[in-house]
């Protein structure tokens, strides 16, 4: 997997073809096509045909390119081309992301409870009535 690289919806929507979106995918990652070709053992001529639209790309190879580049520009371009609103799309939460979110939410609840406990303890120790504050 490559380092995640951001592409905006506007950048994707400006591209006129899947090949241009594949080029954007590499460009956004700061990678030269040659580096991707080497890493994924792709043929230079095949990459060129993908960019020019002379040859289609199979899903496993497209997924590998997007994974290596760290963005989904070609996939987003295909969704846009099919009429989807890119601004309303969101990725599903992975199991790890869900667990992390739940732990963070629990931690936030516990921190809020502890803050209340500390405030009440301070009021008791200083002799102030919690009901009058």
Tens digit of each residue's pLDDT (9 = 90 or more) over 22-38: 999 999 999 999 999 99
**pLDDT tens readout for residues 48-88:** 999 999 998 999 999 999 999 999 999 999 999 999 999 88
C-beta separation of 74 from 66 below 8 A: yes
Residue 133 has pLDDT above 70, yes or no: no
Residue 103 has pLDDT above 70, yes or no: yes
* Fold adopted by 9-88: 434 Repressor (Amino-terminal Domain) (1.10.260)
Chain centre to alpha carbon of residue 92: 10
At residue 50, the 3 state secondary structure works out as helix
How far is the C-alpha of 116 from the C-alpha of 30, rounded, in Å?
A: 49
Look up residue 3 and give its DSSP letter. P
Domain ranges for the chain, please list them.
Answer: 9-88, 95-132
The pTM (predicted TM-score) of the whole model is: 0.68
Region 97-110 average pLDDT: 93
């Amino acid at each position: 997997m490559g380092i995640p690289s951001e592409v905006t919806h506007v950048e994707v929507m400006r591209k006129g073809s899947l090949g241009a979106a594949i080029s954007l995918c590499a460009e956004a990652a700061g990678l030269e096509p040659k580096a991707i070709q080497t890493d994924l053992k792709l043929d230079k001529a095949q990459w060129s045909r993908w960019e020019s639209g002379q040859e289609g790309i199979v899903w496993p190879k497209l997924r590998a390119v997007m994974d290596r580049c760290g963005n989904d520009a070609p996939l987003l371009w295909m969704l846009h081309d099919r009429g989807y609103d890119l601004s309303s799309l969101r990725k599903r939460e992975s199991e790890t992301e869900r667990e992390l979110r739940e732990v963070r939410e629990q931690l936030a609840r516990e921190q809020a409870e502890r803050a209340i406990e500390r405030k009440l303890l301070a009021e008791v120790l200083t002799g102030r009535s919690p009901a009058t504050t």
